[in-house]
Chain A
Amino acid sequence: MTARPGPGGGAAGPLAPPVTTDSGIPVAPVYTAQDVAGGPEALAARLGQPGEPPFTRGPYETMYRGQLWTMRQFAGYGSPEETNARFHFLLGRGQTALSVAFDLPTQLGYDSEHEMARAEVGRVGVAIDTADDMVDLFAGLPLDKVSVNFTINATAPVILATYLVAAERQGVRPDQLTGTLQNDILKEFLARKAYVFPPGPSMRLAADVVEFATGTLPRFNPISITGYHAREAGCDAVTELGLTMASAIAYCEELTGRGLAFDSFAPRLSFHFATTLDLFEEVAKLRAARRLWHRIATERFAAATPAAARLRFFSGNSGTTLTAQQPLNNVIRSTVQCLGAVLGGAQSIHVMGYDEAFEIPSEEAVTLSLRTQQIIALETGVTRTADPLAGSFFVEHLTDEMEARATDVLLRIEDSGGAIHAIEQGLPQRWITESAYQAELAVAEGRRPKVGVNIYADGGDEPAPDLALFQLDPGIADRQIARSRQRVSARDGAACADALSRLRGHADGGQNVMPALIECARAGATVGEMSGVFRQAFGEFREPSPW
């Protein structure tokens, strides 16, 4: 590594900004045309035009001139009523779509009254026990008009069923619904860890959802294939991209293996990436992602239509880049990350709250996150032209480099038997853990500067700013449990038991579980009961030792 002056202007110090990207790609002091492989014509072929294959420059012809990205702050806590109030609050401040955070019991298929659930009800998201809760969650929010993202995975089919029942009660048809169900179980095993069932049945449930949605929910994305959580758990941008593509291949193989035509479902596949602080590397990653997916879709799955090879993505800003120290600095970090997502051509964006090292964001913090998006969209002019960094010697070089290195990661996964097998063996999990440790050591040893943490730390004697942090109403769990018990006692118990028994039959018999699940949700079955059917049919997964 070349010696460079430290941030304080002194001689080469331990806190000099590194001359490699976060992924370890060396960066030269200056780039010229010679650094862009193959010359102008080869580059033009690698780029295409915005909205045209291979989509390097963006999925749509006019990009943000035609339509801004969707501003979608991830939100949810307490009971459905409280989260509904937060949704109205956000939409009232100019947010353009919703993104639901579910509490851990809901994510893991436990009712609020379950012994494992009590301490966690409503904490990291909203508690949903029945379809009635879903009705309350969207009170006053017309589901034929509001696009909704659901961060739900192991219990994604169950939650989709309750959502469809809520829409039905609003008089909204399935073909009118827009939004995204995360439904990416592989990354739960990989990084996020909210899995329930073993990998085999989990893949089957994820594919049941996509199969059901294909045709029935033509405007809805039934899966969002996600590298974000692997990144947040510790891997670098290159590995994030490679793992995302490996997962995408696994889902597509599962679906085509059922006899579905690739072009029937691929246009509704959605992706989800992290956007962190290494601005140019992130932009390069997002551009490379579109090109790489186009190559995989056409070469491997013989995509016949452009839409089946066109990658669209949601960008989540990175929580792990934020710090508890000097928390207002996080506003700046989030702004840069949001800008990176925009320059990378995101279809929807979430910006982290500056207070999330302590709590879920306060109203003030989430408003500032939304305002960050609005200011970038409306005041900076970065939306005026598509893919504004195209043709930059550096960015094109880095885009090529990201694509090549991510392809290497993908090949390593393929060599080990594909995403599912590699995850079962714990291979990518070990990469992520080791990389997380190295990243932490780099900060602890001062090799990676972190303002307010290992440099400009104010001597540690500054009092922490007095943030007005979010505080959960402690009565939430008791009220949610009481209401769910009341709803369970009011339902037709025999009809509900019949519906659950049909669901078990379909789970065992290999039919698509969605129609039976919707019947259960209509009959008032709880999330715990529906998930319990799958627990009995499929068993539960236990993670092997990480070492």
Chain B
Amino acid sequence: MSPARILLAKPGLDGHDRGLKVVAMALRDAGAEVIYLGLRVPVADIAAAAAAEDAAVVGISVLSGAHLPIAEQLLAAMHAAGVEAPLVVGGTIPPRDAGALRRLGVAGVFAVGTSLPDVVTGVLALASPEVAAR
């Protein structure tokens, strides 16, 4: 089986990339193929890369508080680009916003405080073929 392709990016203007890079390294160590787009990536570019790379999961990290508008814009951009891969969001997410993100269509929310193994397990579960086939 080929390794899961996970696309990670920092959208918006937030530069806090410690968490996302740690997640990228942990996913690699767990056998995934990680494509990291870096900082301040426009949502349209994330969606285009997800389509071009045929990513199994798209993951973003936002610590600026702008997670709701950014997730909404990114989901729209992914829809427009024909990307069906699930979107997961990590970062400084207050508890009141986790449900709101899910209602927008975000498949996984990994707020500050989620353990690294839980993030890896959660992302890889979403990348598995059974989930992708749904």
Contact = CB atoms under 8 A, between A and B. Distances in A.
Instruction: Check if A and B associate.
Output: yes
A488 interface: no
B64 A120 contact: yes
B66 interface: yes
Given A358-B95, A359-B65, A543-B38, A444 B115 contact: yes
B22 A436 contact: yes
B111 interface: yes
A361 to B, nearest CB: 12
Contacts of B15: 188, 192-194
A23 interface: no
A469 B96 contact: yes
A457 B64 CA distance: 27
Interface in A103-139: 104-105, 107-108, 110, 116-120, 123-124
Contact of B94 (A116, A320, A469): A469
A170 to B, nearest CB: 31
A108 B113 contact: no
Given A124-B64, A444-B117, A437 B25 contact: yes
A92 interface: no
Place the interface of chain A in its size category: 35 or more
B116 A108 contact: no
A340 to B, nearest CB: 22
B13 interface: yes
A437 B22 contact: yes
Contact of B113 (A192, A194, A323): A323
B39 A543 contact: yes
Interface string B7-31: 0000011111110011001100000
Contact of A119 (B16, B17, B70): B70
A433 B21 contact: yes
Main DSSP-derived SS at the B contact region: loop
Contacts of A360: 65
A119 B112 CA distance: 20
Nearest to B68: A119
Nearest to B43: A119
A451 to B, nearest CB: 13
Interface string B38-58: 111010000000000000000
Interface string A512-541: 000000000000000000000000000000
A123 B65 contact: yes
Interface of B: 12-18, 21-22, 25-26, 36, 38-40, 42, 64-66, 69-70, 73, 92-96, 111-113, 115-117
13 contacts: A104-B13, A105-B13, A110-B13, A116-B12, A119-B73, A123-B65, A124-B64, A194-B15, A233-B17, A234-B18, A324-B111, A433-B25, A444-B115
Given A234-B18, A436-B21, 12 more contacts: A117-B13, A119-B66, A120-B12, A192-B15, A234-B22, A323-B113, A359-B94, A436-B18, A437-B22, A440-B22, A440-B116, A444-B117
